[in-house]
A = this chain, B = another copy of it.
Amino acid sequence: MPPETRGPLRLDAAAGDFAERFTALVEARREADDDVSRDVAAILADVRVRGDAAVAERTARFDRHDLDATGWRIERAACDAALAALDPALRTALELAATRIRAYHESQRPADRDTIDGAGVRLGARWLPVAAAGLYVPGGRAAYPSSLLMNAIPAKVAGVERLAMVTPTPDGVINPLVLAAAALAGVDEIWRIGGAQAVAALAYGTARIAPVDVIVGPGNGWVAEAKRQLYGRVGIDMVAGPSEIVVVADAGNDPAWIAADLLSQAEHDPTSQSILFTDDQGFADAVAAAVETQLAALATGATARASWQANGAIIRVATLADAIPLCDRLAPEHLELAVADPDPLFARVRHAGSVFLGRHTPEAVGDYVAGPNHVLPTGRRARFASGLSVLDFMKRTSFLACDAASIQRIGPAAVALAEAEGLPAHARSVALRLDPTA
Protein backbone atom coordinates (compact mmCIF):
# COMPACT_ATOMS: atom_id res chain seq x y z
CA MET A 1 0.00 0.00 0.00
CA PRO A 2 1.15 3.59 -0.49
CA PRO A 3 3.29 5.04 2.34
CA GLU A 4 0.75 7.59 3.51
CA THR A 5 -1.75 4.88 4.44
CA ARG A 6 0.72 2.69 6.31
CA GLY A 7 0.78 1.98 10.07
CA PRO A 8 1.67 2.70 12.97
CA LEU A 9 2.29 -0.93 13.80
CA ARG A 10 -0.54 -2.44 15.84
CA LEU A 11 0.32 -5.44 18.02
CA ASP A 12 -1.65 -7.45 20.53
CA ALA A 13 0.28 -9.30 23.22
CA ALA A 14 -2.35 -12.02 23.15
CA ALA A 15 -1.71 -12.81 19.48
CA GLY A 16 0.11 -16.03 18.61
CA ASP A 17 2.85 -14.30 16.67
CA PHE A 18 3.37 -11.51 19.23
CA ALA A 19 6.73 -12.69 20.58
CA GLU A 20 8.19 -12.80 17.12
CA ARG A 21 6.75 -9.48 15.99
CA PHE A 22 7.75 -7.70 19.19
CA THR A 23 11.30 -9.01 18.86
CA ALA A 24 11.38 -7.64 15.33
CA LEU A 25 10.30 -4.26 16.70
CA VAL A 26 12.97 -4.35 19.40
CA GLU A 27 15.68 -5.26 16.92
CA ALA A 28 14.57 -2.96 14.09
CA ARG A 29 17.48 -0.81 13.08
CA ARG A 30 16.67 2.90 13.01
CA GLU A 31 20.20 4.23 13.16
CA ALA A 32 21.64 5.41 9.90
CA ASP A 33 24.53 3.28 8.80
CA ASP A 34 26.24 6.17 7.05
CA ASP A 35 29.48 5.01 5.60
CA VAL A 36 31.24 8.13 6.74
CA SER A 37 34.00 6.51 8.76
CA ARG A 38 36.66 6.83 6.07
CA ASP A 39 35.71 10.44 5.30
CA VAL A 40 35.82 11.29 8.98
CA ALA A 41 39.18 9.58 9.49
CA ALA A 42 40.60 11.69 6.67
CA ILE A 43 39.22 14.89 8.16
CA LEU A 44 40.65 14.07 11.59
CA ALA A 45 44.06 13.32 10.11
CA ASP A 46 44.04 16.53 8.09
CA VAL A 47 43.07 18.73 11.05
CA ARG A 48 45.67 17.00 13.20
CA VAL A 49 48.40 17.89 10.70
CA ARG A 50 47.26 21.18 9.20
CA GLY A 51 45.22 22.58 12.08
CA ASP A 52 43.37 25.83 11.52
CA ALA A 53 43.96 25.84 7.76
CA ALA A 54 42.16 22.51 7.41
CA VAL A 55 39.28 23.81 9.53
CA ALA A 56 39.00 27.09 7.62
CA GLU A 57 38.96 25.36 4.23
CA ARG A 58 36.10 23.08 5.21
CA THR A 59 34.19 25.94 6.79
CA ALA A 60 34.47 27.90 3.54
CA ARG A 61 33.26 24.90 1.59
CA PHE A 62 30.38 23.73 3.78
CA ASP A 63 29.27 26.83 5.67
CA ARG A 64 30.09 29.29 2.89
CA HIS A 65 31.96 31.90 4.90
CA ASP A 66 35.57 32.91 5.35
CA LEU A 67 36.51 32.61 9.01
CA ASP A 68 39.26 35.20 8.65
CA ALA A 69 36.65 37.67 7.43
CA THR A 70 33.66 36.75 9.61
CA GLY A 71 35.82 36.02 12.64
CA TRP A 72 36.68 32.68 14.21
CA ARG A 73 35.05 33.45 17.51
CA ILE A 74 31.82 34.86 18.79
CA GLU A 75 32.67 37.13 21.67
CA ARG A 76 30.99 37.10 25.04
CA ALA A 77 29.62 40.58 24.36
CA ALA A 78 27.58 39.21 21.46
CA CYS A 79 26.09 36.59 23.75
CA ASP A 80 25.28 39.14 26.42
CA ALA A 81 23.66 41.34 23.80
CA ALA A 82 21.55 38.42 22.53
CA LEU A 83 20.42 37.74 26.08
CA ALA A 84 19.57 41.37 26.67
CA ALA A 85 17.58 41.53 23.42
CA LEU A 86 15.57 38.42 24.20
CA ASP A 87 11.79 38.59 24.47
CA PRO A 88 11.20 38.93 28.25
CA ALA A 89 8.86 35.94 28.51
CA LEU A 90 11.36 33.78 26.68
CA ARG A 91 14.17 35.07 28.86
CA THR A 92 12.20 34.19 31.99
CA ALA A 93 11.56 30.72 30.59
CA LEU A 94 15.24 30.21 29.73
CA GLU A 95 16.28 31.41 33.18
CA LEU A 96 13.80 29.10 34.89
CA ALA A 97 15.17 26.23 32.85
CA ALA A 98 18.78 27.12 33.68
CA THR A 99 18.03 27.50 37.38
CA ARG A 100 16.21 24.19 37.62
CA ILE A 101 18.78 22.29 35.55
CA ARG A 102 21.55 23.72 37.73
CA ALA A 103 19.77 22.76 40.95
CA TYR A 104 19.20 19.18 39.80
CA HIS A 105 22.79 18.71 38.65
CA GLU A 106 24.28 20.26 41.78
CA SER A 107 22.91 17.31 43.70
CA GLN A 108 24.95 15.00 41.44
CA ARG A 109 28.29 16.24 42.71
CA PRO A 110 30.04 13.13 44.01
CA ALA A 111 31.45 12.89 47.52
CA ASP A 112 35.13 12.36 48.15
CA ARG A 113 36.30 9.68 50.50
CA ASP A 114 39.26 9.44 52.87
CA THR A 115 39.22 6.77 55.56
CA ILE A 116 41.55 4.53 57.51
CA ASP A 117 40.50 0.92 57.66
CA GLY A 118 40.97 -1.78 60.26
CA ALA A 119 44.41 -2.69 58.94
CA GLY A 120 45.55 0.91 59.34
CA VAL A 121 45.55 1.54 55.59
CA ARG A 122 44.38 4.94 54.44
CA LEU A 123 42.04 4.60 51.47
CA GLY A 124 40.22 7.21 49.49
CA ALA A 125 38.93 8.67 46.29
CA ARG A 126 38.95 12.27 45.13
CA TRP A 127 36.80 13.70 42.35
CA LEU A 128 38.01 16.61 40.26
CA PRO A 129 36.66 18.26 37.12
CA VAL A 130 38.35 17.85 33.78
CA ALA A 131 40.36 20.93 32.90
CA ALA A 132 38.55 21.69 29.65
CA ALA A 133 35.41 20.50 27.92
CA GLY A 134 34.22 20.98 24.36
CA LEU A 135 30.57 21.40 23.47
CA TYR A 136 29.20 20.79 20.00
CA VAL A 137 26.06 22.78 19.17
CA PRO A 138 24.50 22.06 15.79
CA GLY A 139 23.63 24.92 13.50
CA GLY A 140 20.42 25.32 11.54
CA ARG A 141 17.22 23.46 12.34
CA ALA A 142 18.55 21.56 15.35
CA ALA A 143 20.12 24.62 17.07
CA TYR A 144 18.31 24.17 20.34
CA PRO A 145 19.05 26.48 23.27
CA SER A 146 17.63 23.84 25.63
CA SER A 147 20.23 21.39 24.42
CA LEU A 148 22.97 23.92 25.04
CA LEU A 149 21.80 24.38 28.63
CA MET A 150 21.58 20.61 29.19
CA ASN A 151 25.16 20.09 27.99
CA ALA A 152 26.84 23.21 29.37
CA ILE A 153 25.36 23.47 32.84
CA PRO A 154 26.56 20.05 34.08
CA ALA A 155 30.08 20.97 32.93
CA LYS A 156 29.99 24.21 34.86
CA VAL A 157 28.46 22.54 37.93
CA ALA A 158 31.30 20.00 37.76
CA GLY A 159 33.73 22.91 37.98
CA VAL A 160 35.14 22.80 34.45
CA GLU A 161 37.20 25.96 34.07
CA ARG A 162 37.19 26.13 30.30
CA LEU A 163 34.08 25.25 28.32
CA ALA A 164 34.72 25.72 24.62
CA MET A 165 31.74 25.58 22.31
CA VAL A 166 31.82 24.99 18.57
CA THR A 167 28.88 25.67 16.33
CA PRO A 168 28.64 26.00 12.57
CA THR A 169 27.19 29.27 11.31
CA PRO A 170 26.04 28.50 7.76
CA ASP A 171 26.42 31.64 5.65
CA GLY A 172 27.69 33.31 8.79
CA VAL A 173 24.27 33.25 10.48
CA ILE A 174 23.72 32.12 14.07
CA ASN A 175 20.56 31.69 16.14
CA PRO A 176 20.48 34.48 18.78
CA LEU A 177 18.58 32.20 21.17
CA VAL A 178 21.62 29.92 21.20
CA LEU A 179 23.89 32.86 22.02
CA ALA A 180 21.57 33.91 24.83
CA ALA A 181 21.64 30.38 26.24
CA ALA A 182 25.45 30.37 26.01
CA ALA A 183 25.55 33.57 28.05
CA LEU A 184 23.23 32.09 30.69
CA ALA A 185 25.14 28.83 30.88
CA GLY A 186 28.54 30.50 31.19
CA VAL A 187 30.19 29.13 28.04
CA ASP A 188 33.78 30.44 27.97
CA GLU A 189 34.61 30.35 24.26
CA ILE A 190 32.53 30.05 21.10
CA TRP A 191 34.10 29.06 17.79
CA ARG A 192 31.98 29.35 14.66
CA ILE A 193 33.05 26.03 13.22
CA GLY A 194 31.22 22.74 12.85
CA GLY A 195 31.36 19.24 11.43
CA ALA A 196 34.00 16.59 12.05
CA GLN A 197 36.67 19.28 11.60
CA ALA A 198 35.40 21.17 14.64
CA VAL A 199 35.43 18.00 16.75
CA ALA A 200 38.97 17.30 15.55
CA ALA A 201 40.08 20.84 16.43
CA LEU A 202 38.72 20.41 19.95
CA ALA A 203 40.38 17.03 20.42
CA TYR A 204 43.80 17.73 18.93
CA GLY A 205 43.97 21.46 19.41
CA THR A 206 45.15 23.87 16.73
CA ALA A 207 47.22 27.04 16.79
CA ARG A 208 44.07 28.97 17.70
CA ILE A 209 42.07 26.43 19.70
CA ALA A 210 43.49 24.75 22.79
CA PRO A 211 42.63 21.05 23.08
CA VAL A 212 39.92 19.84 25.46
CA ASP A 213 39.59 16.67 27.53
CA VAL A 214 35.93 15.79 26.98
CA ILE A 215 33.62 16.49 24.02
CA VAL A 216 29.84 16.43 24.38
CA GLY A 217 26.83 17.53 22.41
CA PRO A 218 24.64 16.34 19.58
CA GLY A 219 25.53 16.45 15.90
CA ASN A 220 24.99 14.85 12.53
CA GLY A 221 26.51 11.55 11.39
CA TRP A 222 29.92 13.10 10.74
CA VAL A 223 30.07 14.69 14.16
CA ALA A 224 28.95 11.49 15.87
CA GLU A 225 31.50 9.42 13.96
CA ALA A 226 34.27 11.93 14.75
CA LYS A 227 33.47 11.64 18.45
CA ARG A 228 33.42 7.85 18.19
CA GLN A 229 36.82 7.77 16.48
CA LEU A 230 38.31 10.17 19.04
CA TYR A 231 36.90 8.26 22.02
CA GLY A 232 39.88 7.28 24.13
CA ARG A 233 41.91 10.31 23.13
CA VAL A 234 39.20 12.41 24.76
CA GLY A 235 36.16 11.46 26.77
CA ILE A 236 32.82 11.69 24.98
CA ASP A 237 29.26 11.79 26.23
CA MET A 238 27.81 8.85 24.35
CA VAL A 239 26.91 7.36 21.01
CA ALA A 240 23.50 8.85 20.29
CA GLY A 241 20.77 7.61 18.00
CA PRO A 242 17.26 8.75 17.09
CA SER A 243 14.99 9.87 19.91
CA GLU A 244 12.26 7.59 21.24
CA ILE A 245 9.39 7.46 23.69
CA VAL A 246 7.40 4.63 25.18
CA VAL A 247 4.09 5.57 26.82
CA VAL A 248 2.30 3.15 29.13
CA ALA A 249 -1.25 4.45 29.52
CA ASP A 250 -4.62 3.22 30.69
CA ALA A 251 -8.05 4.38 29.60
CA GLY A 252 -8.13 6.94 32.40
CA ASN A 253 -6.07 9.30 30.24
CA ASP A 254 -7.36 11.87 27.81
CA PRO A 255 -6.45 10.32 24.42
CA ALA A 256 -5.48 13.78 23.14
CA TRP A 257 -2.84 14.17 25.85
CA ILE A 258 -1.25 10.82 25.04
CA ALA A 259 -1.44 11.52 21.30
CA ALA A 260 0.42 14.79 21.86
CA ASP A 261 3.09 12.99 23.86
CA LEU A 262 3.62 10.45 21.09
CA LEU A 263 3.85 13.23 18.51
CA SER A 264 6.31 15.21 20.62
CA GLN A 265 8.92 12.56 19.83
CA ALA A 266 7.72 11.93 16.30
CA GLU A 267 8.19 15.57 15.29
CA HIS A 268 11.95 15.42 15.97
CA ASP A 269 12.89 13.32 12.98
CA PRO A 270 11.47 10.66 10.66
CA THR A 271 13.72 8.14 12.46
CA SER A 272 12.22 8.96 15.87
CA GLN A 273 10.02 6.33 17.49
CA SER A 274 6.84 6.56 19.58
CA ILE A 275 5.27 3.46 21.12
CA LEU A 276 2.10 3.19 23.17
CA PHE A 277 1.31 0.28 25.47
CA THR A 278 -2.24 0.14 26.72
CA ASP A 279 -4.60 -2.41 28.19
CA ASP A 280 -7.67 -0.96 26.48
CA GLN A 281 -8.48 -1.44 22.81
CA GLY A 282 -10.96 1.41 22.75
CA PHE A 283 -8.37 3.76 24.23
CA ALA A 284 -5.80 2.58 21.69
CA ASP A 285 -8.20 3.43 18.88
CA ALA A 286 -9.00 6.80 20.44
CA VAL A 287 -5.30 7.69 20.69
CA ALA A 288 -4.71 6.61 17.10
CA ALA A 289 -7.56 8.84 16.00
CA ALA A 290 -6.31 11.76 18.10
CA VAL A 291 -2.86 11.39 16.53
CA GLU A 292 -4.41 11.74 13.09
CA THR A 293 -6.43 14.78 14.17
CA GLN A 294 -3.40 16.50 15.68
CA LEU A 295 -1.14 15.59 12.76
CA ALA A 296 -3.44 17.44 10.41
CA ALA A 297 -2.89 20.71 12.28
CA LEU A 298 0.79 20.29 13.18
CA ALA A 299 3.42 22.57 11.61
CA THR A 300 5.90 19.70 11.95
CA GLY A 301 3.30 17.25 10.66
CA ALA A 302 5.25 15.94 7.70
CA THR A 303 8.14 14.81 9.89
CA ALA A 304 5.88 13.54 12.65
CA ARG A 305 3.73 11.59 10.21
CA ALA A 306 6.73 9.98 8.59
CA SER A 307 8.05 8.90 12.00
CA TRP A 308 4.68 7.67 13.26
CA GLN A 309 3.99 5.65 10.14
CA ALA A 310 7.45 4.12 9.83
CA ASN A 311 8.33 3.57 13.49
CA GLY A 312 5.25 4.15 15.62
CA ALA A 313 3.49 1.28 17.38
CA ILE A 314 0.44 0.70 19.53
CA ILE A 315 0.65 -2.45 21.58
CA ARG A 316 -2.21 -3.91 23.53
CA VAL A 317 -1.37 -5.83 26.68
CA ALA A 318 -3.69 -7.69 29.05
CA THR A 319 -2.53 -5.61 32.03
CA LEU A 320 -0.18 -2.64 32.19
CA ALA A 321 2.12 -4.64 34.43
CA ASP A 322 2.65 -6.94 31.45
CA ALA A 323 4.03 -3.96 29.56
CA ILE A 324 6.97 -3.40 31.89
CA PRO A 325 9.16 -6.38 30.87
CA LEU A 326 8.43 -5.45 27.25
CA CYS A 327 9.51 -1.86 27.96
CA ASP A 328 12.69 -3.23 29.52
CA ARG A 329 13.50 -4.99 26.28
CA LEU A 330 13.12 -1.69 24.45
CA ALA A 331 15.13 0.11 27.18
CA PRO A 332 13.67 3.38 25.94
CA GLU A 333 15.21 6.81 26.20
CA HIS A 334 11.91 8.17 27.59
CA LEU A 335 9.23 6.20 29.40
CA GLU A 336 5.93 7.72 30.48
CA LEU A 337 3.86 5.84 33.04
CA ALA A 338 0.57 7.68 32.53
CA VAL A 339 -1.51 6.06 35.24
CA ALA A 340 -3.02 7.33 38.47
CA ASP A 341 -0.56 5.43 40.67
CA PRO A 342 2.68 4.96 38.70
CA ASP A 343 4.98 3.84 41.53
CA PRO A 344 4.13 0.11 41.50
CA LEU A 345 4.88 0.00 37.77
CA PHE A 346 7.99 2.15 38.15
CA ALA A 347 9.35 -0.15 40.85
CA ARG A 348 9.53 -2.91 38.25
CA VAL A 349 11.23 -0.89 35.49
CA ARG A 350 14.88 -1.83 35.03
CA HIS A 351 15.99 -0.19 31.80
CA ALA A 352 14.98 3.34 30.81
CA GLY A 353 16.85 6.60 30.40
CA SER A 354 14.28 8.77 32.13
CA VAL A 355 10.83 8.01 33.50
CA PHE A 356 7.87 10.40 33.60
CA LEU A 357 5.42 9.49 36.32
CA GLY A 358 1.68 10.04 36.23
CA ARG A 359 -0.81 11.70 33.94
CA HIS A 360 0.44 15.24 34.44
CA THR A 361 4.06 14.70 33.43
CA PRO A 362 4.48 14.98 29.67
CA GLU A 363 7.95 14.06 28.50
CA ALA A 364 8.41 17.56 27.02
CA VAL A 365 8.43 19.15 30.45
CA GLY A 366 11.60 17.16 31.03
CA ASP A 367 13.07 18.35 27.75
CA TYR A 368 13.07 21.91 29.01
CA VAL A 369 12.50 22.85 32.59
CA ALA A 370 12.12 19.95 35.01
CA GLY A 371 15.83 19.70 35.82
CA PRO A 372 17.05 16.19 34.95
CA ASN A 373 19.18 16.01 31.83
CA HIS A 374 17.50 15.48 28.47
CA VAL A 375 20.67 13.97 26.98
CA LEU A 376 19.74 10.33 27.45
CA PRO A 377 20.75 6.92 26.12
CA THR A 378 18.90 5.88 22.95
CA GLY A 379 18.69 2.70 20.89
CA ARG A 380 18.41 0.31 23.87
CA ARG A 381 21.55 1.78 25.47
CA ALA A 382 19.69 2.43 28.71
CA ARG A 383 20.56 -1.23 29.39
CA PHE A 384 24.05 0.01 30.30
CA ALA A 385 24.24 3.80 29.90
CA SER A 386 22.93 6.80 31.81
CA GLY A 387 21.93 10.31 30.91
CA LEU A 388 24.50 13.07 30.81
CA SER A 389 25.54 14.15 34.28
CA VAL A 390 28.11 16.06 36.26
CA LEU A 391 30.12 12.82 36.44
CA ASP A 392 30.79 13.01 32.69
CA PHE A 393 32.88 16.12 33.37
CA MET A 394 34.74 14.75 36.36
CA LYS A 395 37.19 11.99 37.06
CA ARG A 396 38.09 10.12 40.21
CA THR A 397 41.60 9.61 41.55
CA SER A 398 41.88 6.77 44.03
CA PHE A 399 44.58 6.96 46.67
CA LEU A 400 46.06 4.92 49.43
CA ALA A 401 48.73 5.14 52.08
CA CYS A 402 50.41 2.45 54.11
CA ASP A 403 52.74 3.18 56.96
CA ALA A 404 55.52 1.00 58.30
CA ALA A 405 53.01 -0.96 60.41
CA SER A 406 50.11 -1.39 57.98
CA ILE A 407 52.29 -2.54 55.09
CA GLN A 408 53.34 -5.43 57.35
CA ARG A 409 49.68 -6.46 57.61
CA ILE A 410 48.74 -6.49 53.95
CA GLY A 411 52.12 -6.59 52.19
CA PRO A 412 52.87 -10.31 52.57
CA ALA A 413 49.74 -11.22 50.61
CA ALA A 414 50.83 -8.87 47.82
CA VAL A 415 54.24 -10.54 47.73
CA ALA A 416 52.65 -13.99 47.52
CA LEU A 417 50.34 -12.98 44.68
CA ALA A 418 53.05 -11.14 42.73
CA GLU A 419 55.30 -14.18 42.93
CA ALA A 420 52.46 -16.45 41.82
CA GLU A 421 51.87 -14.17 38.84
CA GLY A 422 55.53 -14.25 37.85
CA LEU A 423 56.17 -10.57 38.58
CA PRO A 424 59.26 -10.54 40.81
CA ALA A 425 59.85 -6.77 40.73
CA HIS A 426 56.33 -6.26 42.01
CA ALA A 427 57.06 -8.69 44.82
CA ARG A 428 60.40 -7.08 45.59
CA SER A 429 59.00 -3.55 45.78
CA VAL A 430 56.71 -4.70 48.57
CA ALA A 431 59.13 -7.11 50.22
CA LEU A 432 61.74 -4.35 50.63
CA ARG A 433 59.24 -2.41 52.78
CA LEU A 434 58.61 -5.51 54.88
CA ASP A 435 62.27 -6.29 55.40
CA PRO A 436 64.75 -3.76 54.00
CA THR A 437 67.40 -6.48 53.81
CA ALA A 438 65.25 -8.56 51.43
Cβ of A335 to closest chain B Cβ, rounded Å: 8
Provide the bound-state CA to CA distance between A260 and B429, in Å.
5
Cβ of A248 to closest chain B Cβ, rounded Å: 14
Task: Flag whether A402 is at the interface (Cβ < 8 A).
Answer: yes
Chain A contact residues, majority secondary structure: mixed
Write out the residue numbers on chain B whose beta carbons fall within 8 Å of the beta carbon of A217: none
A247-265 CB contacts (< 8 Å) to partner B: 254, 256-257, 260-261, 263-264
Cβ of A88 to closest chain B Cβ, rounded Å: 11
Task: Flag whether A398 is at the interface (Cβ < 8 A).
Answer: yes
- Among A257, A266, A364, max chain B CB count under 10 A is at A364
Name the CB-closest residue of B to A254: B436
**B214 x A384 contact (CB < 8 A):** yes
Task: Flag whether A1 is at the interface (Cβ < 8 A).
Answer: no
**A346 x B399 contact (CB < 8 A):** yes
A110-133 CB contacts (< 8 Å) to partner B: 113, 117, 119, 121-123, 125, 128, 130-131
**A367 x B426 contact (CB < 8 A):** yes
Provide the bound-state CA to CA distance between A368 and B342, in Å.
46
Task: Flag whether A170 is at the interface (Cβ < 8 A).
Answer: no
| A-B residue pairs in contact (CB < 8 Å), sample of 17 | A125-B372, A144-B421, A254-B436, A257-B432, A260-B425, A260-B432, A342-B401, A353-B398, A358-B401, A358-B402, A361-B400, A362-B429, A364-B414, A365-B410, A365-B430, A369-B410, A384-B395
**Chain A residues at the B interface, C-beta cutoff of 8 Å:** 89-90, 92-94, 96-97, 100, 103-104, 107-108, 113, 117, 119, 121-123, 125, 128, 130-131, 141, 144-146, 177, 213-214, 228, 231-232, 234-235, 238-239, 254, 256-257, 260-261, 263-264, 266-268, 294, 298-300, 304, 342, 346, 349-358, 360-373, 376-377, 381-387, 389, 391, 395-404, 406-407, 410-414, 416-418, 420-430, 432-433, 436
